[in-house]
Structure 1
Amino acid sequence: MGTNMVLAAASYTHAITSLKSVLLTLGSAIGAVMLVYGGIKFAMAFRQMDQQGEHQAVYSVVAGGVLVGLSALVTALT
């Protein structure tokens, strides 16, 4: 009787663990895309000497870095 309860609990946690890994992978992929996009945006704004564009690009790079960093941190902790 006790092993049936453990197996049922394991099946629930397996689904949650799978969802967590999918969300972390998706978050780090989106963060990587934001890093690349921000870098390209910064280079284009720098070339045109557009200071406001540079600031927006830096925000994109920082947001992408935060996403990648948080995903890596949560992955390392779990």
Structure 2
Amino acid sequence: MTGTAILAAASYTKAITSLKGVLISIGSAIGAVMLVYGGIKFAMAFRQMDQQGEHQAVYSVVAGGVLIGLSALVNALT
């Protein structure tokens, strides 16, 4: 009976682990897209001498970096 309980618990944790992996992958992919988008936006704002656009682009780059960093940190800790 104990073996059955362990197998049932393992099947639940396998699903949660798979979901965790998918969420980490999605988070890091969104972070990469934000990083590239912010870089392009910054280059365009720099070319047009738009200081407000540069600030917004830097925020996008930082947010993308934070998402990638958090995804890597959660992946390393679990």
Q: Which bracket does the TM-score occupy, shorter chain normalised?
A: over 0.9
Match of 1:42 in 2: 42
Structure 1 gap ranges (5+): none
Alpha-carbon separation, structure 2, partners of 1:69 and 1:61: 12
Alpha-carbon separation, structure 2, partners of 1:16 and 1:2: 21
Q: Does 1:74 align with 2:74?
A: yes
Alpha-carbon separation, structure 1, partners of 2:39 and 2:57: 7
Match of 2:24 in 1: 24
CA RMSD of aligned residues (A): 0.3
TM-score w.r.t. length of structure 1: 0.99
3-state SS in 2 of match to 1:21: helix
Task: Provide, for residues 30-62 of structure 1, a one-character-per-residue CA deviation record: whole Å limited to 9, x for no partner.
Answer: 000000000000000000000000000000000
Q: Percent identity?
A: 85
TM-score w.r.t. length of structure 2: 0.99
How many residue pairs match? The answer is: 78
Structure 2 gap ranges (5+): none
